[in-house]
Amino acid sequence: MACLRSLLLIAAGGLLAACNTISGSYPRSSPLLPDAGIKVSAGTTLTFEEMLGAAAVGAIIYVVYDPLAPNWTIQEQALDQETFALALRAKSFRIGGDGESMQIFRRRAEQLQREKGYTAYRILDYSEGIDSGTPFTHRTSQGIIQLVGAGPIPAR
């Protein structure tokens, strides 16, 4: 998704830069888009200008909202072989998901437990809050888990 955003920004920058460099026999007296439209129903006709505007607004909304991106990102830091600090941050624009940080935190703790070969985990610390950044705020949560039980599986 970051690649798509980068490509859209590069394309928009290129179009803006090209506005000053166009020369030659470009049709300067007639519009770029024809004065035509598509008849959607008996009483509704959409012009090419309206469709282009709607597509541009849709592309901007998609880039900002990005519905395919996960609602939460996790940063993980190993404090030692059995202890991990997890920091979660919600994306700026989302629909719902405000109360799911503990569920995601526990899910990641269970994944670490299975990956490292332990039988259980213990939550040593957990807190939730809001990061008041400019221009948007983000819900955050952080905590520390300790893996307990059988211990890591020895390498063969």
Residues 45, 82 share a domain? no
d(CA 35, CA 43): 18
Quick check: is 44 in a domain? Answer: yes
Q: Of the candidates 39, 33, 35, which has an alpha carbon nearest to the alpha carbon of residue 52?
A: 33
What does the alpha-carbon distance between residue 113 and residue 147 come to, in Å, rounded to a whole number?
6
How would residue 2 be classed by pLDDT, with cut points 50, 70 and 90?
A: low
78 located within any domain: yes
* Domains identified in the chain, total number: 2
CATH (domain of 97): 3.30.110
Range of the domain at 61: 2-15+27-65
User: pLDDT tens across 47-58, in order?
Assistant: 878 888 888 888
> Does the residue 154 lie in any domain?
no
pLDDT level of residue 85 (50, 70, 90 thresholds): very high
The Cα 12–Cα 28 span in angstroms is 21
pLDDT digits (tens, 9 = 90+) for 89-136: 988 776 666 778 899 999 999 999 999 999 999 999 999 998 887 777
